[in-house]
Amino acid sequence: MHIVTTRDQMRTARAHHGTIGFVPTMGYLHEGHLSLVRRAKEECGAVAVSIFVNPTQFGPTEDLTAYPRDLDRDLQLLRDAGADIVWTPHTHDIYPTGATTYVDVTTLTDTLEGARRPGHFRGVATVVTILLAVTTPTRIYLGQKDAQQAVVLRRMITDLGFGTDIVIAPTVREADGLALSSRNTYLDEDQRHAALCLSRALNAVTAAWLTGERNAAALRACGVSIITAEPLADLAYFSVADPDTLVEIPDGSALDPARGALVSTAVTIGVPTLIDNVILPPL
């Protein structure tokens, strides 16, 4: 496994491979990341992974310095998963002195996480643009857990003509339903138990959809009631939105069974705000 730091080192390492799958991460890897690495390896033959805690996607009150890090452990996990290249840039390798260029994906970033975390997707789109420009992968692998990020980056990759295929892999969960996240590490035992309200709410909405509920307000109310019943949970939003445009389906409307919907939620439990989502499948 080749470990590189600068853009030039990354370009040189990449040039040794033809087809290459790319998994961008912020480190503190878990099975969700590793499943992407293994899939990229299987489908592309070679896989590059970046580990970079990107400062531009954290707001002024967010947890940049406290964000969990363990590079040695990450590198061992990536070796075991079959990664070929690991790019661990310093901040100045990504943002050279005097950098003033940002990438803004508009409209799609106005809602959900974009509304809750102003500037977040500008940081994500900017860093992923730089990572793609240097890595020039055949495919980029992202998790469905960050549903809005996947929609935003798909739009950006199309708009900017990167020619990179995008693969969105299913959310990896613990046996009890909790979606894997580096932020779960902040939860104590009671909070970890409380955090199950996210998947419970999403499962209940899916069950309601599959048994014929089409009313957007009723589907939202079903999810909200489960989360607000959990004393340790502080609900930021519970959304039922169009899966492509991310526009909220208004209270008085019925969902179009042929389109389905993206149901997503953000809930603060103790320190972290956890996000999770499910796609209501078109019927």
Catalytic residue positions? 33
Which of 128, 132, 227, 267 contacts ligand PAF by CB under 6 A?
Answer: 128
Distance between CA 222 and CA 210 in Å, rounded? 14
Residues pairing with 22 in the sheet: 48, 140
Q: With binding defined as CB under 6 A, does residue 25 bind ligand PAF? A: yes
Which one of 2-10, 123-131, 155-163, 208-216 is the stretch in contact with ligand PAF (CB under 6 A)?
Answer: 123-131
Which of 127, 130, 187, 280 contacts ligand PAF by CB under 6 A?
Answer: 127
For residue 70, how many other CB atoms are within 10 A of its CB? 14
Q: Letter for the amino acid at 156? A: M
Q: With binding defined as CB under 6 A, does residue 272 bind ligand PAF? A: no
Which of 57, 135, 199, 265 contacts ligand PAF by CB under 6 A?
Answer: 57
| Strand 139-143 with 21-25, pairing | parallel
Which one of 19-27, 78-86, 226-234, 252-260 is the stretch in contact with ligand PAF (CB under 6 A)?
Answer: 19-27
Which one of 18-26, 196-204, 222-230, 251-259 is the stretch in contact with ligand PAF (CB under 6 A)?
Answer: 18-26
Of 130 and 194, nearer to ligand PAF (C-beta) is 130
Q: With binding defined as CB under 6 A, does residue 111 bind ligand PAF? A: no
What is the H or E stretch that residue 196 is in? helix 196-210
Distance of closest approach, residue 123 Cβ to ligand PAF, in angstroms: 7
φ and ψ at 86, to 5 degrees?
-125, 125
Opening angle at CA 203, ends 240 and 27, nearest 5: 85
The pair of three-digit structure tokens given for residue 68, joined into one six-digit string: 């969990």
Q: With binding defined as CB under 6 A, does residue 74 bind ligand PAF? A: no
For residue 17, how many other CB atoms are within 10 A of its CB? 17
Three-state DSSP at 144 gives coil
Per-residue contact flags (x/-) with ligand PAF for residues 35 to 54, judged by CB under 6 A: -------------------x
Q: With binding defined as CB under 6 A, does residue 277 bind ligand PAF? A: no
Of 35 and 206, nearer to ligand PAF (C-beta) is 35
Distance between CA 263 and CA 268 in Å, rounded? 17
Q: With binding defined as CB under 6 A, does residue 249 bind ligand PAF? A: no
Q: With binding defined as CB under 6 A, does residue 26 bind ligand PAF? A: yes
CA-nearest of 6, 168, 1, 181 to 78 is: 1
Q: With binding defined as CB under 6 A, does residue 276 bind ligand PAF? A: no
User: With 0-12 CB in 10 A as exposed, 13-18 as middle and 19+ as buried, what is 214?
Assistant: middle
Which of 146, 230, 236, 277 contacts ligand PAF by CB under 6 A?
Answer: 146
Inter-residue contact 140 to 39 (CB < 8 Å): no
Binding interface with ligand PAF (CB under 6 A): 24-26, 54, 57, 124, 127-128, 146, 149
